[in-house]
Structure 1
Amino acid sequence: MGISDRTRWASRAQFFCSGFVFATWGVHIPTVKAHYAVDEAALGLAMLAAGAGALLGLTQASRWIGRHGARRAAGFCGAIYALLLAGLLAMPAYAALLGLLAVFGIVTSVFDVSINTEAAQLELRNGKPLMSGMHGMFSLGGMVGAVTGSAALAAGLDPQRHLIGVAAAMALTIALSARWMLPREATAFATSSGNGFRLPRSTLALLGLLAALGLIAEGAIYDWSVLYLQQELGSPQQQAALAYASFSAAMALARFGGDAMRARFAPAVLLRGSALLAAASMTVVLVTDMPWLALIGFAGVGVGFANVVPILFAASARVPGVEPARGIAAVSAAAYLGFMAGPPVIGFLAQVSSLTHALYLVVAFAAALAASARYSDP
């Protein structure tokens, strides 16, 4: 069954908005840190609150999407996800911020599983790779969001006004584009599991673990790269925001070419080369004291991690005996746990030692992915 261009672009818009919202949060992490006068450990706890919320959301994501379909779940949860940005600097105290971020995590996890399930169905109906391009839109949104945030900071725009503007624009775009996603019947069966979330087993569990490793590292860059450039290398915040932009721009370009790469190279070969590039580039970031070289290094990390998730999600759709979209939903859920777990782990390690030392975890996980690449083709 074919799919219309309007449906494909609706899905691309959802991924773009997801990246834009996440980038805006990433750019303003130093703002949040200063506003609530907290240290790295408290900031890590705030990220852990979002992770705990995401875990709660994942326990119900399959049931909700199975009942209502990806379109309704994405439109509703995505709009709330965007609107919560407006509250980041409006909470009366740090404790209230933790509550907001817990809700942020719940809706973000359901939104992400929804749009990945939608993308899985589109790829299956299209008959050729689409997943890398969809994730490329997430990275493009991240790049645009980071550049926009950097420009807003450089122009002296009040951070709260910036957050409100982004929240309103992204919520409206998500809600409108959801109208042209696939109908409920196309995705409800894909994640319907009866009793909600179940941990993936055997081959799916391994693929989920690999995806979690990749997204722990990717999430660490999203949440800590701006603070790293500002705090460890002494860059002003508007320049430090370019770390996120550099990473996201390189990742977007690599993902837009990723479907062609996936068609040309075996999954294990592409995953191994990508992970080694990420490990080498992150090492450059951490050993240099020159911000411009660190920005180049972050771009290399972006290229390296760009196709990890598309490779592993595509592999989960080929597991024998597993309905393809159900496999992708299970692996995306496991991977998302990694995505949410990475930033708070980095925060706690940074408090114990330093942010530089903590970010060597990204190098370690990239190396582990390279060593395990042979398992990416079931």
Structure 2
Amino acid sequence: MDTHVSKPGARSGFVTRSRAAVSLLFLMNGFVVGCWAPKIPDFAERLALTKFELGLMILVFGVGSLVMMPLAGAQIAKHGSRVVVQILALCVLPLLLALTLAPNVLTGAISLFLFGGFIGAMDVAMNANAVSVEKSMRRAIMSSCHAFWSLGGLIGSGLGGIVISKLGILGHAQLATLLAAIFVAVAWPMVLADPPHPDTKKEKTKLPMVPLPWLLGLMALFSMVPEGAVLDWGALYLRQEMDASVALSGLGFAAFSATMAIMRFAGDLVRDRLGGVKTLRICTLFAIVGMLLAGLAPNAELAILGFAFCGIGISNMVPIAFSAAGNIPGLKPGIAISVVTTMGYSGMLVAPSLIGFVAEHIGFAVVFMALPVLLLVVLLLSKLAHYADGTSGGGH
């Protein structure tokens, strides 16, 4: 795999170790998020939350992320990504236990704010570290890093329901925390030390006045809303509207993560073959079919198949938007990427609470059938994906 020729002075083994470390950190972050997905129905039940109230709780998760992601960026600028990602990984570890043991709505909300905040901040730091690893290796690894995140989500959500039914809700949280701690411990000594980036903050102060990064941001936003919907509401939809068992309801996000991971590992290859525009269009059509199938499904099994189709589609929609943002002519990549990233992640983090409010009145099936309207907008903007072809092997 790592068969590049190192420049003199570069230590090939060290480069490989640093790639393994950042991949493990992506895996751990995705795993913890995946473990949370099957816990959501229990969390709602224990705190006696309606769909709307759970939607507000999930909004607290999103607000935590949006508050702490820029703070992580500032700390990376000051200290480099290694120390920031290590500290944030430690901060994430106790939070599944905190969410499991939260006795009331207030402690539940505080735990969710911290969970969203540290998961989001760690996301920024590990992406920054992945960029540094790419530079040190002089090859693209970003797509595979995101594939490891999806793989972690698959392991966490796929085993979650089964482990909860065997060990109970607390036993599941303890086992998940132990596994996450092992991932961090193995990665810890191998994380690439990169220099601080003092110019990053100056770059981000001026927002671009041209429409292109905002349109790409809209593409990322409308691609990530369905992802957030499956993560936050898939298990509850299968439990409440499809009468699925605890173990089966965890498989919705697992199926979504599985197909997403497979397609992300293949992403760079597919895009090199077909180009950004055609890849994006095919992916968007898969996502539309998947969402409609999930919403119209007469049983849980077909809904899970719909989520799997959706994962195939969404897998490379966001990386293409990020990639295109990094290649807008005449605009610094840092500025465009910060716009597209923030717009995209806000879709995944904030929109699900709105979905909870709507689902309270009309049910999740109708919501899943309505989400393809957003994906049609992505299809209309798909011509912009040609900017992604300006990248040498994937965008950051």
Cross-structure match for 1:64: 75
Cross-structure match for 1:148: 159
Cross-structure match for 1:165: 175
2:308 equivalent among 299, 317, 320: 299
Using the TM superposition, give the Cα deviation of residue 58 of structure 1 relative to its aligned residue in structure 2, in angstroms.
Answer: 2.8
Cross-structure match for 1:289: 298
Distance 1:209 1:43 in 2: 26
Cross-structure match for 1:26: 37
Deviations 1:168-227 (A, max 9, x none): 331442354143233231xx3287214977766533333222212211211111111111
1:207 equivalent among 202, 212, 216: 216
Cross-structure match for 1:103: 114
Assess if the C-alpha contact under 8 Å between 2:294 and 2:368 holds in 1: no
Distance 2:43 2:265 in 1: 32
Assess if the C-alpha contact under 8 Å between 1:281 and 1:297 holds in 2: yes
Distance 1:342 1:322 in 2: 29
Moved more, 1-10 or 33-42: 1-10
- The AA in structure 2 aligned to 1:292 is E
Distance 1:12 1:95, change over 3 A: same
Q: Does 2:382 align with 1:373?
A: yes
Distance 2:185 2:357 in 1: 36
Using the TM superposition, give the Cα deviation of residue 376 of structure 1 relative to its aligned residue in structure 2, in angstroms.
Answer: 2.3
Using the TM superposition, give the Cα deviation of residue 64 of structure 1 relative to its aligned residue in structure 2, in angstroms.
Answer: 1.4
Q: Does 2:358 align with 1:334?
A: no
Distance 1:125 1:192 in 2: 19
Using the TM superposition, give the Cα deviation of residue 119 of structure 1 relative to its aligned residue in structure 2, in angstroms.
Answer: 2.4
1:40 equivalent among 41, 44, 51: 51
Distance 1:282 1:198, change over 3 A: farther
Using the TM superposition, give the Cα deviation of residue 352 of structure 1 relative to its aligned residue in structure 2, in angstroms.
Answer: 2.6
Distance 1:136 1:158, change over 3 A: same
Moved more, 278-287 or 120-129: 120-129
Q: Does 2:300 align with 1:308?
A: no
Using the TM superposition, give the Cα deviation of residue 327 of structure 1 relative to its aligned residue in structure 2, in angstroms.
Answer: 4.4
Cross-structure match for 1:139: 150
Using the TM superposition, give the Cα deviation of residue 50 of structure 1 relative to its aligned residue in structure 2, in angstroms.
Answer: 1.0
Assess if the C-alpha contact under 8 Å between 2:219 and 2:378 holds in 1: yes
> Match of 1:88, SS?
helix
Same amino acid, percent of matched pairs: 29
2:197 equivalent among 184, 189, 197: 189
Please provide the CA RMSD for this pair: 2.2
Cross-structure match for 1:271: 280
Deviations 1:81-121 (A, max 9, x none): 23211111212211221111112222122111112222234
Gaps of 5+ in 1: none
Assess if the C-alpha contact under 8 Å between 1:140 and 1:249 holds in 2: yes
User: TM-score with structure 1 length normalisation?
Assistant: 0.92
Q: How does 1:87-98 map to 2 (within 5 A)?
A: 87-98=98-109
Using the TM superposition, give the Cα deviation of residue 67 of structure 1 relative to its aligned residue in structure 2, in angstroms.
Answer: 0.9
Distance 1:347 1:153, change over 3 A: same
Using the TM superposition, give the Cα deviation of residue 280 of structure 1 relative to its aligned residue in structure 2, in angstroms.
Answer: 1.0
- The AA in structure 2 aligned to 1:179 is P
Count of aligned pairs:
375
Cross-structure match for 1:180: 190
> Match of 1:257, SS?
helix
Distance 1:120 1:164 in 2: 32
Q: Does 2:17 align with 1:6?
A: yes
Moved more, 320-329 or 366-375: 320-329
Using the TM superposition, give the Cα deviation of residue 145 of structure 1 relative to its aligned residue in structure 2, in angstroms.
Answer: 0.8
Using the TM superposition, give the Cα deviation of residue 125 of structure 1 relative to its aligned residue in structure 2, in angstroms.
Answer: 4.8
1:51 equivalent among 45, 62, 76: 62
- The AA in structure 1 aligned to 2:23 is R
Assess if the C-alpha contact under 8 Å between 1:211 and 1:335 holds in 2: yes
Assess if the C-alpha contact under 8 Å between 2:296 and 2:369 holds in 1: no
Moved more, 278-287 or 125-134: 125-134
Assess if the C-alpha contact under 8 Å between 1:71 and 1:179 holds in 2: no
Q: Does 2:358 align with 1:357?
A: no
Larger radius of gyration: 2
Deviations 1:57-80 (A, max 9, x none): 133232111112222221211221
Using the TM superposition, give the Cα deviation of residue 261 of structure 1 relative to its aligned residue in structure 2, in angstroms.
Answer: 0.8
Distance 2:344 2:198 in 1: 17
Moved more, 14-23 or 100-109: 100-109
Distance 2:294 2:28 in 1: 28
Deviations 1:271-290 (A, max 9, x none): 11101110111101111212
Distance 1:181 1:321, change over 3 A: farther
> Match of 1:38, SS?
coil
Cross-structure match for 2:327: 318
